[in-house]
């Protein structure tokens, strides 16, 4: 154990992270020994009691050290140095060379489009694993123009990339408030209560139906969990690269979700079949037969068209809301124009 940890008072350690408090309490109810340095506290533990709790002193020390180093790695400044991501071509499904050399800068939003089965998720997977020619596509991903070091790729703190996959299933038995408070504590954010409140407010803005802070995360609907994870990623995650595999269902306000992520100076890559999302990026990567076949910059005229599409989308969202509320739609706003 390093001297710094040995000398730190138990009181200080347990205040740093909820999991440490939980762990130390399991080993020994803390009240009387809070002022002890951690090293002395470990020596004072009753081995019988420890083994009843399914622990031993060495395991306890290692776990505390791991939690502290994870919290350190996920601090906002841990990846402050990321400036670009470069994708270098591999081969398509037929083994033909892929002509790809794309540098993506922080702040850019890149959409990935292409038919079903064309390789959109594979491309996201390559970025998630920071592939080095060792995935089925043979692509290489560079961070700041160079191959990432193995600790970034394989370390337990691979926080460079956050991936929001299509299925979000919670397994922990916590309320939304407890879950987010724990995440805020792991990230050591300043004013955690207000950040947590902001995440909940944002998630409720994105989700079709509202949920309360006391709702158990396992009780959230698909759309609500997705909205919660998007808001959490935008406001609480330290990862500067965010990968999103489709924001599909349940009436999530997709435009607002993307705006939330764009505002955070991250690199965002989103695989989508949705025309509005596809046009919201700075560029779109077109994938076919397992390789990138084109990279298209969103033009001024396309952005203009996007506004039209967003107007139509707002109409559809409004109809959806009305129908869900059991209302009729004969009296909808006539300014909707041609579709009605």
The three-state secondary structure class of 170 is coil
d(CA 184, CA 163): 18
The answer to whether 118 and 157 have CB atoms below 8 angstroms apart is no
CA proximity to 79, closest of 264, 301, 284:
264
> What are the C-alpha distances in Å from 53 to residues 19, 22, 46?
15, 12, 11
By the rule CB under 6 A, 137 interacts with ligand ATP: yes
Q: Between 223 and 290, whose beta carbon lies closer to ligand ATP?
A: 290
CA proximity to 27, closest of 63, 70, 1, 76:
63
d(CA 299, CA 283): 9
The residue number with the shortest CB distance to ligand ATP is 290
Q: Which stretch binds ligand ATP (CB under 6 A): 99-107, 111-119, 150-158, 220-228?
A: 111-119
By the rule CB under 6 A, 117 interacts with ligand ATP: yes
CA proximity to 221, closest of 127, 337, 324:
324
By the rule CB under 6 A, 93 interacts with ligand ATP: yes
Q: Which residues contact 194 (CB under 8 A, 6 or more apart)?
A: none
By the rule CB under 6 A, 284 interacts with ligand ATP: no
By the rule CB under 6 A, 291 interacts with ligand ATP: yes
Among 32, 48, 54, 116, binds ligand ATP (CB under 6 A): 116
Q: Which stretch binds ligand ATP (CB under 6 A): 49-57, 68-76, 115-123, 172-180?
A: 115-123
Altogether, the residues listed in the chain come to a count of 340
By the rule CB under 6 A, 92 interacts with ligand ATP: yes
d(CA 8, CA 24): 14
By the rule CB under 6 A, 272 interacts with ligand ATP: no
Q: Between 33 and 72, how does the x/- string for binding to ligand ATP read (CB under 6 A)?
A: ----------------------------------------
Q: Between 239 and 291, whose beta carbon lies closer to ligand ATP?
A: 291
Q: Which residues contact 187 (CB under 8 A, 6 or more apart)?
A: 71, 74, 75, 76, 236, 238
By the rule CB under 6 A, 233 interacts with ligand ATP: no
Q: Between 199 and 292, whose beta carbon lies closer to ligand ATP?
A: 292
Among 17, 23, 111, 114, binds ligand ATP (CB under 6 A): 114
Q: Which stretch binds ligand ATP (CB under 6 A): 59-67, 119-127, 184-192, 226-234?
A: 119-127
Positions in the binding site for ligand ATP (CB under 6 A): 91-93, 114, 116-122, 136-137, 290-291
């Amino acid at each position: 154990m390093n001297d710094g940890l040995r000398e730190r008072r138990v009181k200080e350690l347990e205040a740093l992270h909820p999991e440490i408090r939980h762990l130390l309490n399991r080993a020994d109810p803390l009240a009387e020994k809070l002022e002890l340095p951690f090293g002395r506290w470990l020596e004072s533990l009753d081995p019988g009691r420890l083994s009843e709790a399914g622990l031993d002193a060495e395991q306890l020390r290692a776990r505390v050290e791991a939690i502290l180093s994870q919290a350190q790695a996920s601090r906002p400044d841990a990846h402050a140095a990321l400036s670009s991501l470069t994708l270098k071509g591999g081969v398509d499904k037929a083994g033909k060379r892929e002509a790809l050399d794309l540098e993506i800068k922080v702040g850019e939003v890149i959409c990935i489009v292409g038919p079903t089965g064309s390789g959109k998720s594979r491309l996201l997977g390559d970025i998630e694993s920071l592939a080095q020619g060792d995935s089925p596509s043979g692509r290489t991903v560079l961070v700041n123009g160079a191959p990432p070091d193995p600790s970034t790729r394989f370390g337990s703190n691979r926080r460079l990339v956050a991936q929001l996959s299509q299925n979000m299933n919670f397994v922990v038995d916590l309320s939304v408030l407890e879950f987010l408070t724990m995440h805020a504590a792991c990230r050591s954010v300043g004013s955690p209560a207000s950040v947590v409140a902001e995440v909940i407010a944002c998630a409720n803005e994105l989700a079709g139906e509202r949920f309360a802070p006391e709702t158990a995360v396992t009780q959230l609907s698909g759309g609500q969990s997705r909205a919660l994870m998007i808001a959490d990623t935008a406001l609480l995650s330290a990862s500067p690269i965010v990968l999103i595999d489709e924001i599909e269902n349940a009436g999530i306000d997709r435009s607002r979700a993307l705006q939330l992520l764009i505002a955070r100076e991250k690199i965002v890559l989103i695989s989508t079949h949705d025309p509005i999302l596809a046009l919201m990026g700075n560029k779109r990567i077109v994938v076919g037969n397992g390789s990138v076949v084109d990279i298209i910059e969103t033009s001024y005229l396309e952005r203009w068209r996007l506004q039209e599409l967003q107007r139509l989308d707002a109409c559809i969202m409004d109809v959806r809301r009305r129908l869900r509320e059991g209302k009729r739609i004969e009296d909808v706003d006539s300014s909707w124009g041609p579709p009605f």
